[in-house]
Amino acid sequence: MQTELKINGDKHVLDLDSRTTLLDVLRHHIGLTGTKKGCDHGQCGACTVIVNGRRINSCLTLACMHDGDEITTIEGLGTPDDLNPLQAAFVAHDGFQCGYCTPGQICSATAMLKEAKAGWPSHVTEDMASTPDLTDAEISERMSGNLCRCSAYPNIVDAIREVARGGKE
Amino acid sequence: MRPFDYQRARTLSDVASAAQQGAAIIAGGTNLLDLMKLEVMTPERLVDITRLDLKAIEETDDGGLRVGALVTNSDLAADMRVRTRWPVLAKALLSGASGQLRNKATTGGNLLQRTRCYYFYDTAMPCNKREPGSGCAAIGGFNRIHAILGASEKCIATHPSDMAVAMLALGAKVEITDRAGNDRTVSLDKFHLLPGDTPEKETVLEPGDLITGVVLPAPVQGRQIYRKVRDRASYAFALVSIAAVVDVKDEKIARADLAFGGLAHKPWRDAALETALVGKPVSEAAFDAAADILLKDAKPQGSNDFKIPLARRVLISVLKEATR
């Protein structure tokens, strides 16, 4: 199955078994191992990447279904020498312990902040028609698809809140 | 995962011809791929419908809304028309799954998602739904998440959708195209089936049928509420959920459209319960009587006994909030 993917701005043409998930393409075919395989069933969020601007679980989608799509992984957001604001905030606030869930957390948070900016409500939003402020309860609810088994949640919320408010607190 | 042939549909007739050859339809894939990885489902062909033009949300002439089958749960929940006129649906959608999954999950696929019964997922165990005639390990097993209403000797699984519960309370209709290209519309309350002797048959869809959209009628007067009770505050399936559209006039209940999740093999609606409420003064006695009707034939299974008092309390609480 020939599939063309644009990953972090680079075009890749791949010949794949139809069963190959987007996650396995990123890790095994392209060598971008920042994206992690946790549960491989869409329950933990470690594999979160951004496809055409939306966050998804890369483990629960077939690469061949993404022919022509634009994919951003953690490697596309920043580099060790040039961290993007969320990456820097996770470091500054110690938003991890083992770090395994962190790439997924950061990709998820990147897209989540865009969703919030677009005015999307969440389950904890009182009035569905309102555009809610990104309170800690809103951040937690919107990030509930990313599990952290070290339970660094308070620091993850601190990091995301800082970036949502446009800088250091 | 077992090998399969993959085909991308460009037109509805591509879907029809793939269906003739026994292809399974894939859209968001969040449930199907999960089940294929576990080899609970083992289709030999997949037809990918994600490039079909079924992504529009359009107002109908009579004030309703037509939602294309491929509209994602995220896009539907974010639509300002849904948020202002059918907020119970936005709330239900946002109470399901996670942000990542809602970005993939589609309207049609949400209706067709399979039960999360542990034994259905475990191919080492008997399951009449997965393998008709093999038995039901949930009966007499761990059945905390299982049905108390409308179950059978063959299957006590529950339908996991939140979206469908809200759509049922709103009186939605499902638009279907068959493989000959004929269109039909099925009321959502007739779309899902009770397990009976054939729990493997979950909806009225026939092989080659494609859901093309869901139509919501114009909103009716009344307060809209979606209440979901689950084991954790977010990202979990409902133990009990209720979608309610309730109107009060002159201290009396003028309308009580109520649908229930987590209780049965399909989103549950009970006309007798609604009839009993309408016309009654707003009172705890009326709410209690409604709960009696809902749970009159409830059959607990052991680990899910708690669902009977829980459903009663959630119903009374929702009715109190709706009539306050």
Q: What angle do CA B299, B303, B308 make, to 5 degrees?
A: 45
Question: Which 3 state secondary structure label does DSSP give A137?
Answer: helix
Are B74 and A142 a contacting pair at CB < 8 A?
no
B9: nearest Cα among B17, B1, B267, B153: B17
Q: At a CB cut-off of 8 Å and minimum separation 6, what does A28 contact?
A: none
Give residue B290's pLDDT band: very low, low, confident or very high (50, 70, 90).
very high
Q: What is the mean pLDDT of residues B209-235?
A: 97
- Residue B138 near residue B152, CB atoms below 8 Å: no
Output A169 or A123, whichever has higher pLDDT. Answer: A123
* B208: Cα within 13 Å, side-chain hemisphere: 15
- Which residues from chain A sit within 8 angstroms of residue B233, using beta carbons? 141, 144
Segment (H or E) for A7? strand A2-7
What gap in Å lies between CA A132 and CA A123, rounded to an integer? 11
Rounded CA gap, A69 and B112, in Å?
A: 26
For residue B190, what pLDDT is reported? 98
Q: What is the dihedral of CA B200, B201, B205, B211, to 10 degrees?
A: -50
What average pLDDT does the structure give for chain B? 98
For chain B, give the percent of residues with pLDDT over 90: 99
CA angle B88, B97, A105 (to 5 degrees): 125
Residues 25-64 (B) with a CB less than 8 A from some CB of A: 26, 29-30, 33-34, 37, 46, 48, 50
* Ranges assigned E (strand) in B49-196: 57-59, 65-68, 173-177, 183-187
**Residue B303 to residues B233, B238, B292: CA-CA distances in angstroms?**
21, 15, 21
User: Dmax of chain B from CA atoms?
Assistant: 63
The tokens describing B296, both together, are: 């009159």
Output the CA angle B33-B35-B36, nearest 5 degrees. Answer: 60
CA distance A129 to B79: 9
Q: Given A18, A55, A123, which is nearest B103 (Cβ)?
A: A55
Tell me what pLDDT residue B249 has. Answer: 97
B172 contact partners, CB below 8 Å, separation of at least 6: B187, B188, B214, B215, B216, B217
Tell me the mean pLDDT in the region B174-192: 97
Mean pLDDT computed over B112-128:
98
Dump pLDDT digits (tens) for A40-74.
Answer: 999 999 999 999 999 999 999 999 999 999 999 99
- Nearest to residue B4, comparing CAs of B49, B36, B38, B51? B36
pLDDT tens digits, residue range B269-289?
999 999 999 999 999 999 999
Q: Which of B52, B51, B28, B32 is nearest to B42 (CA)?
A: B32
Report how far residue B255's alpha carbon sits from residue B244's, in angstroms, rounded to the nearest whole number.
10
Interface of B with A in 215-254 (CB under 8 A): 233-235
- Given a cut of 80, is residue B12 above it in pLDDT? yes
**Whole-number Å distance between alpha carbons of B259 and B243:** 5
Residue A1's pLDDT band, with cuts at 50, 70 and 90, is confident
Give the residue-averaged pLDDT of B94-116.
98
pLDDT value at A168 more than 60: no
The pLDDT of B99-124, averaged and rounded, is: 98
Please tell me the distance from the alpha carbon of residue A51 to that of residue A8, in angstroms, as a whole number: 10
Does A38 have pLDDT greater than 70?
yes
Contact at CB, A57 and B84, closer than 8 angstroms: no
Contacts of B80 in chain A (CB under 8 A): 129
Identify the pLDDT of residue A64.
Answer: 98
Q: Note whether B182 contacts A: Cβ–Cβ < 8 A.
A: no
Q: What is the pLDDT of residues A130-160, one digit of tens each?
A: 999 999 999 999 999 999 999 999 999 999 9
Q: Name which of A67, A128, A157 to mutate to probe chain B: the one with the most chain B Cβ atoms within 10 A of its Cβ.
A: A128
pLDDT at A169 over 80: no
Cβ of A31: how many Cβ atoms within 10 Å? 8
